[in-house]
Structure formats: structure tokens, C-alpha cells
């Protein structure tokens, strides 16, 4: 980070454009209470429960426990837990979103310095902030990619074991953030070393930190008996055709917004050809002028599966590398961008400003669509056991149907029990088997499974999302308890069990 800070201080245009584009990418966060990211509400809830379990508040310790084993999710959960505690759930979550989305372009600019390229060239990475990974709420992956870029730059520059040892904190942090960016880091560094073996001892020392940090998690995963991975692979033509979808094709649905996304994608795909037409800089020698980073991203994108079932259930594996692949394409040219030649960056800068404006409009519309939800959320009391029945999960402003995770923001704020949170070997907070309450299956997406006697009477509040066919209306009473409507607005109806 020191090298990037020096470059920004020495180049006023670089500093001005970095601040402009960073501000533009953060601008949409100021237009909404929460962002329409599928997985983020779950992470926010688990981060809130992190404190509740530790300090035994509101009965959370009766339902959950914290796994102290180092896993590749600790970084995000801890940061979310701190920011939400200091700033509140909604603002705290958006702060972590901002940190994650800025980490990638800043890390890419840092890598440009290491590879002998102008950091101005890295400005186009801001086009990829609001990408597929971010809209799915995979903040741990996005932050991990940013950390991997910083770490790769530091390790490529390390000439001695002492230099390599200085990268250990960043290596451990990366390992505890997400395992897939670790795979990219290992692949890029491995290809660079195979092409030109050098500083082998230093690189072995640098690799020790993420390797040792991940070792307990890897050993635990291998110790679980499992058969075939159940992997699902997409053919090459599908991967090529999906490159837009897995980078910029998951944002706003408005016609002008989709046009802005398309223009941004064209700039990223064909803009490097424009940069090749400029006079090229001389590389700083050896591997620093080669293209191992895009090669590693291409191998991961074109050969990893879409989904695996064992040892950890995971969907969207290879698509997560589409953004890194386009970043790698930006590394292929090495243009001189001084003086008037800096005008070649204009298409990327203008496309970024355009897409950020459209994302801001999308998030403003999403905020209006979800306003009744936050009215209902304010009525749920601390420590409440919440059952969410969500059958209407799409929103006009959002491409991805994230409504069946929105309820987790309530648990993030009030704690208590929510039966539909993530619980996987990569999470930090887990359910206690003896603390689970009877719950309708299908993550609440099939309200016809609901029964007040079997399920509803065991909860304090029932949130219905999608009023057509509300099952609580036809079955409001259990053994001495009744669901009483306390709020209705938009597609939401909130019941208190009394």
C-alpha cells in the first residue's frame, strides 16, 4: 500500500481520477438503506449473532455456537461484526461493501506498479467494482481478490527471505478471507515461478503463511468421509457466452442501465486493443513484463467446475474468476499514458461514471420498494424468534431474486433465532442441534408447509412476504397462542405470536 500511496502523491492526475472513480463507485451506497445482494443479509446476521453468542445476550447461546477453527470466512465476519456494532447494521454492512469493492481496483493498481505498468492503466479496474460477485453478496470473495492482488505484488517484489516474511500478515489475512482468491494467488505465482525460477526460498517462505493458516480447515474437510465431488461442469462455449453475465450482467434492469453495462463490458474487452496502439513502455524485466496473472485467471475460469457438493457444497465456482480474467486482459498492453496519451483512458473513466449513476438509480428504486420492510423490521423486539415465510422474492429493480434473504437483516439487528441462516463448514456461527426450533422446509419459500400448531406457536414473530395465499390468515391459532397482525405494508405482513 505504501508504494501505491507514493504513486498517487507523485501523480496528480492519477490521484484526481482515483478519487473521482472511487467516489463514483461508492455513490450508489448513499442511495439506499441496504443493497440488493443475495448473501449479504445472512452474513450480516451471523456477524450480529457473533457478539450475542460471545456475551450470551438475548438467549443466542441457546441456539448457536461459534467455531474457533480458522476458516476462510473469519475476516468478513469479524469486520462486519465490528462495523455493525459501531455504526449499526445497515450502515456497518455498507461500509464493508465499500471496503470490499475498492480493494479490487486499488489492489490491481498496486499490481500494475509491480509489473512495470502505469498505475493509470489500473483505473479501468473501477469498471468491475459492481460485478457478479458483489451482487451475489460474496463480499469475502471480493475482498479476498483485492487482498490477493496486493499479496501477489508484494511477493513478486520479495527478493530475500526477510522480505518474504514481511508478507505473512497479508497472507494469513487472505487465507482467512476466502479460499478461491488463494487459488488465484497460488496459480499466478506458480506460473511466474515456473516461467522464470528465482527467489525460490523467499517465495516458499511467503507461501507458508496462507498454507499454514488454511491447514486446520483443509485437514478437517479431508477428515469428513465423502465420495464423488458431485461436480458440475459447463462446456467452454457456455463459459465464453457467459463472460458478460458473470462480470457486469447482474446489475440494474432499466434499459439505459443495461446499455451502460454493455458499454462498460465492451470497453474492458476491446479497450486493451486501443492501448496497444499507443507507444509501449519497456517492462522492468523478466517475469514482471510477462502475463502469468491473466493466464492463471483463464485456467481457473475455463477448467474449474460450476458447482461441487463435497467436501463443501459450493455453487458459482468458476464464474467468480470472470472479473479476474478481465482484469488480466487489462494487463496485456503496457502503454505509455503520460501527457496527451492519458486521454486514451477517457472511455473507461466515462463508462465507470455512467454505470455508477445507473447503479445509484437502481439502488434508489430498490430502497423505495423495500421501505415497508424496514417499517415492519422496527417492530420486531430484541431477542425475538423470527419465522419468515417468503414466497414473493423478486423486485422490479433487481435482477437477482434476493427477497428470501432480506429477513436476515432483522436478526442482524435484534438477535434471537432465525431458522433460515447459512450454516456450512465455512461459516463461523453455527446452529446448536438441541437449539433448533421446528421449521417449515424449503427456506420458507413454500408457505403451504406452514402450520401454526406445528411451527408458528414456537416463534415470537412471523413475517409473511407475499400476501396472496398468506397461510397465517387461514391458520392463526395454535395451542393457546395466536398470531396477531401488527403491521401490513407493500408485500409484507408482520404477525406477533401472543
Could you tell me if 357 and 434 lie in one domain? no
Q: Convert the pLDDT of each residue in 431-442 to its tens digit.
A: 998 889 999 988
- Whether residue 57 is contained in a domain is answered as no
Q: Convert the pLDDT of each residue in 182-215 to its tens digit.
A: 999 999 999 988 888 888 899 999 999 998 998 8
Last residue of a domain, one of 366, 388, 409: 366
- Whether residue 59 is contained in a domain is answered as no
pLDDT band of 286, cuts 50, 70, 90 = very low
- Whether residue 287 is contained in a domain is answered as yes
Could you tell me if 155 and 81 lie in one domain? yes
- Whether residue 14 is contained in a domain is answered as yes
Residue 363 in grid coordinates: 439502488
- Whether residue 159 is contained in a domain is answered as yes
Degrees, nearest 5: CA angle 425-430-435: 140
Q: Convert the pLDDT of each residue in 384-399 to its tens digit.
A: 999 999 989 999 998 8
Could you tell me if 326 and 445 lie in one domain? no
pLDDT at 335 over 90: yes
Could you tell me if 305 and 405 lie in one domain? no
The predicted pLDDT at position 225 comes to 64
Could you tell me if 99 and 231 lie in one domain? yes
Could you tell me if 416 and 487 lie in one domain? yes
Place of cell 463435497: 310
Could you tell me if 319 and 378 lie in one domain? no
Neighbouring residues of 237: CB distance < 8 A, sequence distance ≥ 6: none
pLDDT at 31 over 60: yes
Could you tell me if 312 and 386 lie in one domain? no
Last residue of a domain, one of 323, 341, 366: 366
Mean pLDDT of the chain: 91
The predicted pLDDT at position 311 comes to 66
Q: Which domain holds residue 411?
A: 372-497
pLDDT band of 328, cuts 50, 70, 90 = very high
Residues 279-296 have a mean pLDDT of: 70
The predicted pLDDT at position 285 comes to 42
Q: How many folded domains does the chain comprise?
A: 2
Q: Convert the pLDDT of each residue in 73-122 to its tens digit.
A: 899 999 999 999 999 999 999 999 999 999 999 999 999 999 989 999 99
Side by side, which strands form the sheet with 492-497? 386-390, 461-465, 492-497, 483-489
Could you tell me if 296 and 403 lie in one domain? no
Residue 132 in grid coordinates: 457478479
- Whether residue 52 is contained in a domain is answered as no
Last residue of a domain, one of 366, 391, 419: 366
pLDDT band of 491, cuts 50, 70, 90 = very high
Residues 16-36 have a mean pLDDT of: 97
Could you tell me if 176 and 292 lie in one domain? yes
Is the torsion defined by CA of 433, 435, 441, 442 positive or negative?
Answer: negative
The mean-pLDDT minimum among 120-134, 218-232, 303-317, 334-348 falls in: 218-232
Could you tell me if 342 and 458 lie in one domain? no
Provide the whole-model pTM: 0.94
pLDDT at 283 over 60: no
Q: Convert the pLDDT of each residue in 41-84 to its tens digit.
A: 999 999 999 999 998 887 888 999 998 888 888 999 999 999 99
Could you tell me if 406 and 283 lie in one domain? no
Please indicate whether residue 144 or residue 442 has the higher confidence score (pLDDT). Answer: 144
- Whether residue 36 is contained in a domain is answered as no
- Whether residue 168 is contained in a domain is answered as yes
For residue 486, count other CB atoms closer than 10 A to its CB: 14
Amino acid at each position: 500500500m505504501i508504494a501505491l500511496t507514493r504513486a498517487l502523491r507523485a501523480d496528480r492526475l492519477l490521484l484526481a481520477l482515483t478519487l473521482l472513480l472511487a467516489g463514483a463507485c461508492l455513490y450508489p451506497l448513499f442511495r439506499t438503506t441496504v443493497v440488493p445482494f443475495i448473501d449479504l443479509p445472512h452474513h450480516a446476521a451471523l456477524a450480529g449473532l457473533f457478539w450475542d453468542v460471545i456475551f450470551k445476550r438475548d438467549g443466542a447461546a441457546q441456539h448457536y455456537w461459534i467455531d474457533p477453527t480458522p476458516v476462510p470466512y473469519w475476516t468478513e465476519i469479524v469486520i462486519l461484526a465490528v462495523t455493525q456494532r459501531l455504526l449499526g447494521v445497515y450502515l456497518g454492512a455498507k461500509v464493508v461493501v465499500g471496503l470490499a469493492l475498492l480493494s479490487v481496483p486499488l489492489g490491481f493498481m498496486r499490481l500494475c506498479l509491480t509489473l512495470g505498468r502505469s498505475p493509470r492503466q489500473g483505473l479501468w479496474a473501477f469498471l468491475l467494482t459492481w460485478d457478479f460477485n458483489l451482487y451475489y453478496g460474496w463480499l469475502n470473495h471480493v475482498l479476498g481478490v483485492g487482498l490477493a492482488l496486493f499479496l501477489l505484488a508484494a511477493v513478486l517484489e520479495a527478493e530475500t527471505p526477510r522480505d518474504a516474511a514481511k508478507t505473512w500478515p497479508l497472507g494469513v489475512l487472505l487465507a482467512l478471507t476466502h479460499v478461491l482468491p488463494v487459488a488465484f494467488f497460488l496459480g499466478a505465482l506458480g506460473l511466474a515461478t515456473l516461467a522464470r525460477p528465482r527467489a525460490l526460498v523467499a517465495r516458499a517462505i511467503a507461501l507458508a503463511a496462507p498454507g499454514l493458516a488454511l491447514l486446520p480447515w483443509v485437514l478437517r474437510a479431508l477428515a469428513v468421509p465423502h465420495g464423488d465431488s458431485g461436480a458440475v461442469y459447463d462446456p467452454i462455449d457456455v463459459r465464453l457466452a457467459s463472460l458478460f453475465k458473470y462480470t457486469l450482467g447482474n446489475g440494474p434492469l432499466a434499459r439505459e442501465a443495461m446499455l451502460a453495462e454493455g458499454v462498460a463490458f465492451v470497453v474492458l474487452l476491446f479497450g486493451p486493443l486501443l492501448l496497444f496502439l499507443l507507444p509501449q513502455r519497456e517492462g522492468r524485466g523478466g517475469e514482471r513484463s510477462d502475463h502469468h496473472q491473466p493466464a492463471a485467471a483463464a485456467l481457473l475460469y475455463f477448467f474449474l467446475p460450476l458447482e461441487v457438493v463435497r467436501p463443501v457444497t459450493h455453487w458459482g465456482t468458476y464464474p467468480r474468476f470472470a472479473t479476474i480474467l478481465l482484469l488480466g486482459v487489462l494487463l496485456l498492453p503496457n502503454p505509455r499514458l503520460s501527457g496527451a496519451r492519458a486521454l486514451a483512458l477517457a472511455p473507461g473513466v466515462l463508462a465507470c461514471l455512467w454505470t455508477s449513476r445507473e447503479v445509484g438509480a437502481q439502488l434508489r428504486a430498490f430502497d423505495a420498494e423495500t421501505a415497508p420492510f424496514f417499517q415492519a423490521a422496527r417492530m420486531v423486539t430484541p431477542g425475538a424468534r423470527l419465522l419468515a415465510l417468503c414466497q414473493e422474492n423478486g423486485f422490479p429493480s433487481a435482477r437477482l431474486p434476493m427477497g428470501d434473504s432480506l429477513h436476515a437483516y432483522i436478526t442482524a439487528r435484534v438477535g434471537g433465532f432465525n431458522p433460515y441462516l447459512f450454516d456450512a463448514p465455512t461459516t463461523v456461527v453455527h446452529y446448536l442441534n438441541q437449539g433448533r426450533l421446528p421449521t417449515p422446509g424449503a427456506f420458507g419459500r413454500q408457505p403451504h408447509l406452514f402450520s401454526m400448531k406445528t411451527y408458528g406457536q414456537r416463534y415470537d414473530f412471523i413475517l409473511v412476504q407475499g400476501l396472496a395465499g398468506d397461510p397465517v390468515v387461514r391458520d392463526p391459532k395454535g395451542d393457546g397462542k395466536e398470531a396477531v397482525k401488527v403491521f401490513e405494508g407493500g408485500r409484507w405482513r408482520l404477525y406477533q405470536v401472543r
